[in-house]
């Protein structure tokens, strides 16, 4: 006899992620592992029902398991309906049960199972599926017992059909509570049928096998559900930990991007460890606050730190607006460069424009430190750049270009931007300058330098942030 069974044998674990908040997820199977105390409390199961004590976790399990089992639920109900139709022809040929009884009963049972199949679109949780299946299975089992009792074939045929039902229930991994309900209904039905049975043959062996099947099936299903729920919870924990790691990795990557040029940080994240490059044409800027040491000694420490933070944050914005790279800060000195990590023909013009904007910003954004004036030196030429350090990464540049830019700053004039001849040749079409004359630079002898006056007439009305487009034009 064909019977309806629990939800389909589809596995609950499939690759994916679990989101307990919206209770919609798929599962990644993992190996068993000990849970920490806090995690174990959250994933605790109720003693009798085996449901999660955490309601959000239970809802997630219901939806995940229901989604995975819905196809099996449909297959089960469809198969049961089909087999009942076949039983209308097979049972009368193999048993003394009259055709007039088997046909209408089989048709009614097939209709009931097909109706459940049509209703399956609303069975999106495991509890709904098991509730329907348990009712169907109980009714199917009672009808089987009634037919076997009516035809006088309760020993052998009737119990064999019930055994088939239990076997299918185990394969389908029916929930323990629902399996217990179904078993209780069938036990009562079997006891009533056995008491009323007056036909030939003894039911002692059938009763023994029936009882053993009930006990073994319930124990196995309870153990199976317990294991499935523990695996589900471990998947939830692992997924949440993986999400947390992704967030932390994102923060770490973002921090690295703030510390290093984007192209350099990308190479580090890709696994490159030794980064050293030569840059043939770069413009380097050094800026220093005039009289900062004596100024800082007269101010509260908090005002000094807040003042520098506000000022350097503004410098960072100005640098980023022009597509330049901040190299580092050294005390009250600020170092930036253009032409390092991306090709740009106007890096000298962008850096000079940055220097003018920084002088203006110092007057407006350095109010906590008083009346600020900057000395700025700029020089263009080749440099070597690379990442140093293993615990704390730092990108730095070296070479004569860096040294000369630093000397031009230290021997500059407060409130002015001093550039070398190499730099001025690249920006003379954009900026006006006045020659300062030969300047004796330590280690390099006499060097011609220029003090930038401002943009030429055609550019004077352009804001500082537009310099890159002006230079490009």
* Inter-residue contact 456 to 428 (CB < 8 Å): no
Contact 283, 423 (CB under 8 A): yes
Summarised one tens digit per residue, pLDDT across range 234-247 is: 888 898 899 988 88
Domains of the chain: 37-242 (no CATH), 262-472 (3.30.70.1230)
Dihedral angle at the C-alpha atoms of 89, 93, 97, 100, nearest 10 degrees? Answer: 40
HSE-up (13 A, CA, CB side) for residue 204? 2
DSSP state of 459: G
Cα-Cα-Cα-Cα dihedral of 333, 338, 339, 345, to 10°?
A: -150
Burial grade of 392 (CB within 10 A; 0-12, 13-18, 19 or more): exposed
Strand 374-388 relative to strand 417-420, pairing: parallel
For every one of its 473 residues, what pLDDT tens digit does the chain have, with 9 covering 90 and above?
333 333 333 344 443 445 555 434 444 444 444 445 555 577 888 888 888 888 888 888 888 887 877 777 777 788 878 888 888 888 888 777 878 888 888 888 888 888 887 777 677 788 888 888 788 888 888 888 888 888 777 787 777 777 777 766 666 677 888 888 888 988 898 888 888 888 777 788 888 888 888 888 888 888 888 888 888 898 888 988 999 888 888 887 777 666 666 666 666 666 666 666 888 999 999 999 988 888 888 888 888 888 888 889 999 999 999 999 898 888 889 999 998 877 788 999 999 999 999 999 988 876 666 678 899 999 999 999 887 777 677 788 899 999 999 999 999 999 999 999 999 999 999 999 999 888 888 888 889 999 999 998 654 444 444 444 444 33
Q: Where are the alpha helices (DSSP H) in 273-300?
A: 292-298
H or E, element range at 327: strand 325-330
Q: How far apart are CA 409 and CA 374, in angstroms?
A: 9
What's the pLDDT at 167? 67
In sign, the C-alpha dihedral spanning 32, 37, 39, 45 is positive
Task: Put residue 17 in one of left, alpha, beta given phi > 0 → left and psi -120 to 50 → alpha.
Answer: beta
What pLDDT does 368 receive? 62
Closest to 283 (Cα-Cα) out of 351, 215, 359, 228 = 351
Closest CA to 48 of 166, 180, 231: 180
From the CB of residue 270, how many other CB atoms can be counted at a distance below 10 Å? 7
0.85 surpassed by pTM: no
Q: Are 356 and 419 a contacting pair, CB within 8 Å?
A: no
CA 438 to chain centre: 60
What torsion, rounded to 10 degrees, do the Cα atoms 2, 5, 10, 11 define?
-140
- Please count the residues of the chain: 473
Q: List helix spans (H) across 95-125.
A: 99-118
Distances (CA, A) of 367 to 306, 314, 357: 10, 13, 16
Alpha-carbon distance of 466 to 432, in angstroms, equals 17
Q: What burial class does residue 247 get, using C-beta atoms within 10 Å of its C-beta: 0-12 exposed, 13-18 middle, 19+ buried?
A: exposed
Instruction: Quote the longest CA-to-CA distance of the chain.
Output: 127
Dig out the tokens for 43 from the structure: 């994933």
Q: Quick check: helix, strand or coil at residue 38?
A: helix
Q: How far apart are CA 63 and CA 125, in angstroms?
A: 5
**Element (H or E) spanning 336, and its range?**
strand 333-338
Cβ–Cβ under 8 Å, residues 39 and 237: yes
């Amino acid at each position: 006899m064909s019977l309806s069974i629990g939800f389909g044998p589809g596995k609950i674990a499939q690759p994916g992620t679990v989101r307990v908040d919206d209770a919609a997820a798929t599962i990644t199977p993992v190996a068993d592992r000990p849970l920490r105390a806090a995690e174990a409390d959250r994933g605790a199961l109720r003693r009798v029902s085996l449901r999660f004590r955490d309601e959000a976790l239970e809802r997630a399990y219901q939806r995940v398991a229901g989604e995975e089992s819905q196809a099996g639920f449909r297959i089960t109900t469809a198969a049961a309906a089909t087999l009942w139709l076949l039983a209308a022809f097979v049972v009368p040929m193999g048993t003394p049960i009259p055709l007039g009884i088997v046909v209408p009963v089989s048709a009614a049972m097939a209709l009931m199972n097909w109706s459940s199949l049509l209703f399956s679109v609303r069975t999106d949780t495991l509890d709904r599926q098991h509730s329907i299946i348990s009712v169907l299975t109980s009714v199917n089992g009672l009808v089987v017992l009634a037919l076997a009792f009516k035809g006088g074939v309760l020993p052998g045929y009737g119990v064999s059909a019930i055994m088939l039902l239990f076997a299918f229930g185990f394969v389908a991994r029916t929930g323990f509570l629902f399996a217990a309900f179904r078993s209780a209904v069938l036990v009562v039905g079997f006891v009533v049928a056995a008491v009323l049975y007056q036909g030939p043959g003894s039911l002692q062996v059938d009763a023994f096998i029936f009882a053993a099947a009930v006990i073994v099936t319930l124990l196995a299903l309870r153990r199976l559900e317990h294991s499935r729920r523990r695996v589900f919870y471990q998947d939830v924990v692992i997924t949440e930990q993986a999400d947390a790691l992704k967030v932390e990795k994102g923060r770490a990557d973002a921090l690295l991007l703030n510390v290093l040029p984007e192209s350099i940080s990308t190479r580090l994240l890709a696994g490159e460890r030794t980064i050293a490059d030569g840059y043939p044409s770069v413009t380097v800027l050094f800026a220093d606050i005039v009289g900062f040491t004596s100024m800082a000694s007269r101010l509260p420490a908090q005002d000094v730190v807040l003042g520098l933070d506000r000022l350097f944050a503004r410098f960072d914005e100005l640098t980023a607006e022009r597509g330049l790279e901040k190299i580092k800060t050294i005390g009250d000195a600020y170092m930036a460069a253009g032409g390092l990590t991306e090709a740009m023909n106007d890096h000298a013009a962008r850096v000079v424009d940055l220097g003018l904007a920084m002088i203006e910003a110092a007057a407006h954004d350095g109010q906590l430190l008083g009346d600020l004036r900057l000395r700025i030196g700029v020089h263009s030429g080749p440099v070597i750049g690379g990442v140093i350090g293993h615990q704390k990464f730092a990108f730095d540049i070296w070479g004569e270009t860096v040294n000369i830019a630093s000397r031009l700053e230290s021997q500059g004039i407060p409130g002015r931007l001093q550039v070398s001849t190499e730099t001025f040749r690249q920006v003379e079409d954009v900026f006006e300058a006045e020659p300062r004359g030969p300047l004796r630079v330590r280690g390099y002898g006499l060097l011609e330098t220029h003090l930038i006056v401002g943009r030429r007439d055609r550019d004077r009305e352009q804001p500082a942030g537009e310099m890159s487009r002006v230079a490009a034009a």
